[in-house]
Amino acid sequence: MNLGSKSKKRAVLPSRPDPPTVQQILEDINRASPSDPAFSLLDHTGQDSSRVSPDSDVELKFQQSRRYLELNERLQEVRGQLVCQREELRAAGEQLDRDVAEVKGRAL
């Protein structure tokens, strides 16, 4: 008998906080300084900042991310369609095999 496992109490975790509202997120972004680590990624993109304004670079990355998510969602939809079509083809192939066997049986 293992006495250690019965005497341990499970730690009760606090409930998950509510996610921030859009207004709270915008306020947080507006209060952040340009040196905030969340914005440091923009400095390490390797692009010449004299040619591209930071706003257009952010917009470009946003649009690329958005396009990626849209394509990924579409890919998942098409994958589901292909699974259904594969099953239909498999069932049609089985029916065709049965029909061919039946016709061969009649011919003999």
Q: What's at 102, amino acid-wise? A: E
pLDDT of residue 49: 47
76-98 as b/e, with b when 16 or more CB fall inside 10 Å? Answer: eeeeeeeeeeeeeeeeeeeeeee
C-alpha to C-alpha distance for 48 and 71, rounded to whole angstroms: 28
C-alpha to C-alpha distance for 50 and 2, rounded to whole angstroms: 68
Query: Could you say which residues of the chain have pLDDT below 50?
Result: 1, 47-50, 52
Is the whole-model pTM more than 0.85?
no
